[in-house]
Amino acid sequence: MYTRLVSHTDKINQQLARYGVKFGIYKGGVFEERLFPFDAVPRIIEADRWQHLERGLIQRVDALNAYLRDLYNEAQITRDGVVPEHFAYASSGYLPQCENTMPPEGIYSHISGIDLVEGNDGEWYVLEDNLRIPSGASYPLIARNLCRRCDADTFREVPLVDNRDYGSRLKGVMDNVNRGGINVVLTPGRYNAAYFEHSYLAEKMGAVLAEPSELFVEDEVLYYRDSTRNARVGAVYRRLSDEYLDPLCFLPESLIGVPNLMCAYRAGNVAIINAPGNGAADDKGIYYFVPQMVEYYLGEKPILRNAPTYLPYYPDDLAYVMENAENLVIKDVAEAGGYGVVFGCELEPEKLAELKDLVRAEPRRFIAQEVIDFKCLPTWINHEMVPRKADLRAFVLSGEKTTVWPSGLTRYARQEGSSVVNSSQGGGFKDTWVLSR
């Protein structure tokens, strides 16, 4: 099915490099740009498997949006004891500045990146929910475009669902909440890790790519400044973290924010995508409660499963983690990109003891999970086919309705035996083929 594509792997990677498809990271305080290695052997998902996954993803994101609407306004879920009040508000992603502020159309997470693995038992397991500024959609988008150029026959022969509409889907999400004006992709600039994606997606959806210095607020309205006119901005797809958005509301030392942006947002004059404060729901500790949220808000049983998870915040779970730490994955709830993830089996006894002491001292800071035995995918590395662990980041878009992009970013571990697939940890990526029949 993909034999011819494999022979073009080197050529496709060369073209990706020419387009600037790189992943930037800061290492030791120094910015480094690295190629994001592409493997032409795709992940293939059958139509019926995809339909099941799609239903589960829509259900999950709808519940998470309901939680954010509730938490920042009525907070009924904490009063009913489904999520402990102290636990919810202790999240580092919770922003008091966003209380009693309802975003346009009541949508908080417009673009959700849900990370899953397919277990060897055939089940899909959600590992985490990314609701702040999830990145990665541009990579399979451009990779498939280049693959089509190299081997158009394969894409005529294989019954794939087309993934080229992501730009129009994203535009539809922005148009749905636009408060009157142009759509803008707000980038911190060239040295951001995902700058390629910012510029590529802005082009695909016909939005203006703007840096903070090109935006200003006047009379609680956001404007884009160019050489000829000041254009009103109705929706901002921001690609910088909450704390840097507005120096008058969050970090005063931020040089990449837009002063008074939050005033325009609170006044209902601009939509911010994704909404500020979403970190309160993609905290890895809150992940523990998502199945309960599905039942609480939607009255349905969860379609997708969490990885078996323990919350040291609860004394019984803490005791279990202390007894079984060497067999668990322990995660710092505030970390991302593969950082703060520790496999107990890989630690020397002294380091494991230190970690357990830290978990005892700061139980709200950690979760622990059973190690999921997830599938390896065939991967072409150094001119041979080898098995490598791989996850899937699915992109769920919430506009007039919630939909799932029939594609996704499959990331694979380049090192044999490794389960860490994050691009920031040296992983590569694949296209994700959803079969239409």
CB atoms within 10 A of CB 3: 10
User: Closest Cα partner for 93 from 298, 282, 271, 302?
Assistant: 282
Residues paired with residue 4 on neighbouring β-strands, in sequence order: none
Cβ-contact 393, 114 below 8 angstroms: yes
**pLDDT, mean of residues 368-378:** 93
**pLDDT, mean of residues 282-293:** 95
**pLDDT, mean of residues 355-359:** 95
Residue 25: band (very low, low, confident or very high) from pLDDT cuts 50, 70, 90: low
Identify the pLDDT of residue 424: 63
Element (H, E) at 34: strand 30-35
Please give the domain boundaries of the chain with CATH numbers for all domains: 3-290+292-298+374-434 (no CATH), 308-370 (3.30.1490.270)
In a 3-state reduction of DSSP, which class is residue 95?
coil
Preceding amide of 73 cis, omega within 30 = no
* Identity at 133, one-letter amino acid code: I
pTM: 0.94
Instruction: For 168-194, write each residue's pLDDT tens digit.
Output: 999 999 999 999 999 999 999 987 878
Residue 21: band (very low, low, confident or very high) from pLDDT cuts 50, 70, 90: confident
Give the number of residues written for the chain: 437
Cβ-contact 88, 67 below 8 angstroms: no
Tokens of 26: 């800061």
Q: Is the pLDDT of residue 26 over 60?
A: no
The per-residue pLDDT of the chain, averaged, comes to 93
User: Closest Cα partner for 247 from 292, 268, 216?
Assistant: 216
Residue 27: band (very low, low, confident or very high) from pLDDT cuts 50, 70, 90: low
